[in-house]
Amino acid sequence: MKPTAIDLLPDKQTKILHETPMANEGEDDLADNRPPVKKIGFKKIFLLGAAGLFLIAGGAGGAAYMGYLSIPLPFLAKESKIENVPPPPPSIGPMVKLNPLVINLKDEKGRHYVKVRIILEVARPGWVEEINARLPLLTDIVILTLSDKHLADLRDPGAKDSLKNDFLKKFNESLQGEKISQIYFDEFIYQ
């Protein structure tokens, strides 16, 4: 007897081929040509699902980190409201302007002068009337202080700040209390 193709196959495959039932005359020939169905185990399905969830969560976390996705977190909402509240602006008291003054500086020939306009910030609104009543005294302090300065004294980088501090100290001493909180130069020209 001559060996056929079925006889040349290894033992396991020949056994499977011999055990498959032959198609009946009325059935489709396609049913015999189907490969055997492999069953996927529960462990494989679980691992594939867990890997998929891990990838989705990682992508969502990356998108939230980069700002493409906003995730509301209720336990962080209270902290973010506190952080987003801007600090209140500093309160500024009422202002009192002194008239512009032109004062000769201390010089042998009298060629140099300074033009200055000072604005006073009053610490309390109730003290505005008292300061307005004492404006001639404050003007006199400015004239006496600036007429004792040389032009070189005013050219120093920190001269204006030291003048502000000096005026503030002298004004509050003459008003008998810290009634003026800040001094501003509205105009400061020297020649």
> Is the pLDDT assigned to residue 13 strictly greater than 60?
no
Helix (H/G/I), strand (E/B), else coil: 23: coil
Rounded distance between C-alpha atoms, residue 167 and residue 121, angstroms: 12
Among 48-57, 75-84, 99-108, whose mean pLDDT is lowest? Answer: 75-84
> Is the pLDDT assigned to residue 154 strictly greater than 60?
yes
Q: Taking residues 31-50, what's their average pLDDT?
A: 78
In the chain, which ranges are continuous DSSP H helix? 5-8, 11-19, 30-33, 42-66, 74-84, 128-133, 135-146, 151-155, 159-174
> Which pLDDT score is estimated for 90?
74
Q: Where in the chain is the domain with CATH 3.30.479.30?
A: 95-190
Rounded distance between C-alpha atoms, residue 188 and residue 49, angstroms: 77
Q: Taking residues 74-79, what's their average pLDDT?
A: 55
Contact status, residue 142 vs residue 118, Cβ threshold 8 Å:
yes
> Is the pLDDT assigned to residue 174 strictly greater than 80?
yes
CATH (residue range 95-190): 3.30.479.30
